[in-house]
Amino acid sequence: MTFDEIRIAIESRMVAWDGVPVAYDGAPNGPSVDAAIANQEPWVRLTIQHGDSFVAGLGSEPCVRRPGLIMCQVFTKDNQGSRQAYQIADSLAAQLQFWRTGHLETLASSMQRAGPSDGWYQLNVSTPFRVG
């Protein structure tokens, strides 16, 4: 898979997620994301971080492996407790981990607490992927 095919597959998976509005890396926010931010409602930012590609086999057609990380930053209104953020993180993990399409597969999701900042409470959900 090419880098762009990986992006398309992951973004398509997120479009199918029945959760809060999602901001996509490098794209203008859609109206639902802008409205969520303005109303201090939950939203998610998706970033795809590619790792170092490597050759896993030699021969007439070398097998290239492309690892990476799907990063989802979960934002909920600060001073409302962390429950809603954790529920969104759980939903994202269920949507993204142990999923396979074509040569792309994802592994177990992890969650990191970023905490409060600028009126938002933030959790980060990271899901490793590999292609090849």
Instruction: Yes or no: say if 1 and 131 are a contact pair by the CB < 8 Å rule.
Output: yes
Listed in sequence order, the DSSP H helices in 1-132 are 3-15, 31-38, 83-96
Q: What is the CATH number of the domain that holds 22?
A: 3.30.2000.20
Per the structure block, which two tokens stand in for 115?
């905490």
* pLDDT tens across the length of the chain (132 residues): 899 999 999 999 999 999 999 999 999 999 999 999 999 999 999 999 999 988 887 777 778 899 999 999 999 999 999 999 999 999 999 999 999 999 999 999 999 999 999 999 999 999 999 998
Determine the pLDDT at residue 7: 97
Q: What is the pTM of this model?
A: 0.91
End-to-end CA distance of the chain: 8
The tally of domains found in the chain comes to 1
Give the pLDDT of residue 49.
97
57: containing domain: 3-131
- For residue 100, the model assigns a pLDDT of 97
The helix (H) or strand (E) run that includes residue 55 is strand 54-57
